């Protein structure tokens, strides 16, 4: 898996994928869901697929997530056979804002988009995307454009 380092401020995502990640967040409530965003970087970052991942953080699934590296490598391999790349990740924040936590920042890598879905009471949702330019940078919000 490569770090794309796109320096993007907009991430385009298909409506069907956006709806899928929102539904995943609602279904996982009151725990955090997580998954991988797959797409292309031609002209502009576009997400065409999402892959649900198992939240491997069994001890704190209500407020932390972890994607098993083996699962991530498999998703990356599948994406590459389809001519796509891992573009980023998504996860939910049950009953918390759609802003990155200190833990989110600690684990973030440059070049990827991180969509955070806030789920309040299991039904009210909002989503925002974030990215970092380098390992010492703070998160910057990226616009989500539904295509």
- Angle of CA points 68, 131, 7, to nearest 5°: 120
Residue among 15, 24, 23, 35 nearest 112 (CA)? 35
Q: Do residues 119 and 92 touch, judged by C-beta distance below 8 A?
A: yes
124, two tokens: 């009210």
> Quick check: helix, strand or coil at residue 81?
helix
Token pair 């990827």: residue? 112
> What's the farthest any 2 CA atoms get from each other in the chain?
41
User: Cα separations (Å) of 21 from 9, 13, 51?
Assistant: 20, 11, 9
Q: Which residues are catalytic?
A: 32
The residue to which tokens 């980023």 are assigned: 88
């Amino acid at each position: 898996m490569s770090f794309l380092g796109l320096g993007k401020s907009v991430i385009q995502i298909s409506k069907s994928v956006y709806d899928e990640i929102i539904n995943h967040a609602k279904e996982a409530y009151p725990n955090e869901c997580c998954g991988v965003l797959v797409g292309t970087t031609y002209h502009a970052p576009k997400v065409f697929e999402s892959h649900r991942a198992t939240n491997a953080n069994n001890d704190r699934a209500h407020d932390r997530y972890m994607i098993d590296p083996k699962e991530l490598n498999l998703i990356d391999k599948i994406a590459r056979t389809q001519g796509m790349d891992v573009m980023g990740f998504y996860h939910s924040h049950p009953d918390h804002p759609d802003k990155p936590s200190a833990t989110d920042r600690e684990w973030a890598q440059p070049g990827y988009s991180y969509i955070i879905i806030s789920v309040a009471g299991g039904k009210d949702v909002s989503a925002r995307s974030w990215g970092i330019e380098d390992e010492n940078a703070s998160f910057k919000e990226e616009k989500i454009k539904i295509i």
